[in-house]
Homo-oligomer: A and B are copies of this chain.
């Protein structure tokens, strides 16, 4: 669901005053202070900032298309600085670096880059006209992994722009900026970008108006995601085509009740219940799993190794399992890697990461 758009075009500066990249913005009713701040032209508080936004696991089984969670310790960094060489009111992407081939695949044209689109969107909300910015993106996430790569870039950029001008916008506005980016690169879905910005679990209740429900997992409980990423490019078109257009009533009721149980388990801190709900999708996962070689065996291996639940992260190919213990998480990850190799003939890498409860954040700043 969150794959960055690739464009071969050369680096370009884009002014946020151009409006064509925010279609229908005014047609929606938002809870942001966009209209209030549009004409402000704020001055930067910092000469430079560095921000981070975490990876995210969207869908979560029966939470398809409306639920996501942030993952601690893996994500993207954005460095942003006031740059007199960039025309006032514009932004330039000067550098992209990071894991795998992400740097090569991503465009430096801000209009075609997740971070660029979100940054422009925030500049527009703030009404920035007299300052130019340059942005460097450091990818900690591989593209097309199902871990919210585009959302992490967008969230980190949105936070960086907001912070450099003194944090004038609320998180809802930043989600809207992130949505502009997601809409361009992977579809109008907030289930990655909302948790990337807000941390924890986030339920997308509606888009018109945008309504987000943060779901607090109890702070005294541990939750670890076992993320196993195989060397495989999920066939995005096939993944989408695999979704049924019609769903039988009994499957609908089942998935609804499991989505409800998923939310109850999160709020009640019931990891067993959460895992069971995560594993219970009868609509999307059964159709998508066969498109990822070995996925069914990987899920089986995870559950046999003691994971509370396992499903596909986002649209895949990463498999996500959950547990309450880091060491156990590593064992589960090993079994899952083995299963990907044995049953899918795919090399895979496992990570064990905690729930990120914070979301995108400022990492450092330099005062003017």
Chain B residues with CB below 8 A from A66, complex form = 253, 256-257, 260
Contact B203 A252 (CB under 8 A): no
Q: Is the beta-carbon distance between A62 and B256 smaller than 8 angstroms?
A: yes
* Residue in B64, B257, B260 whose CB lies within 8 Å of A253: B64
Instruction: Determine if A268 is an interface residue (Cβ-Cβ < 8 Å).
Output: yes
Binds B, one of A73-81, A93-101, A243-251, A313-321: A243-251
* In-complex Cβ contact of A260 among B63, B245, B248, B249 (8 A): B63
- The total of chain A residues at the interface (CB under 8 A) is 35
B249 touches A203 (CB 8 A): no
| Minimum CB–CB distance for A315 against chain B, Å | 14
Contacts of A32 on B, CB cut-off 8 Å? none
- Contacts of A263 on B, CB cut-off 8 Å? 260, 263-264, 267
Interface string of A227-254 (1 = CB under 8 A from B): 0000000000000000111111100110
Tell me whether A264 and B62 are in contact in the complex, defined as CB-CB below 8 angstroms, given that A246-B248, A255-B252 are known contacts.
no
Q: How far is the CB of A29 from chain B (nearest CB, A)?
A: 14
Q: Chain B residues near A246: list those with CB within 8 A.
A: 246-249
Q: Is residue A262 contacting chain B, with contact meaning CB distance below 8 A?
A: yes
Query: B-facing mask of A202-213, CB < 8 A → 1, else 0?
Result: 011110000001
**Oligomeric state, in number of copies?**
2
> A247 to chain B: which residues have CB within 8 Å?
246-249, 252
Give complex CA distance A244, B247 in Å: 10
How long is the Cα–Cα vector from A255 to B268 in the complex, in angstroms?
Answer: 22
> Does A258 lie at the interface of the complex (its beta carbon under 8 Å from any beta carbon of B)?
yes
- A259: B residues at CB distance < 8 A: 256-257, 259-260
Q: Is A65 an interface residue (CB 8 A)?
A: yes
Whether the pair A283, B213 counts as a contact (CB closer than 8 A) is: no
Q: Determine if A203 and B256 form an interchain contact, defined as CB atoms under 8 angstroms apart.
A: no
Interchain residue pairs A-B with the least CB separation, the first 5 = A66-B257, A246-B246, A260-B263, A256-B259, A267-B267
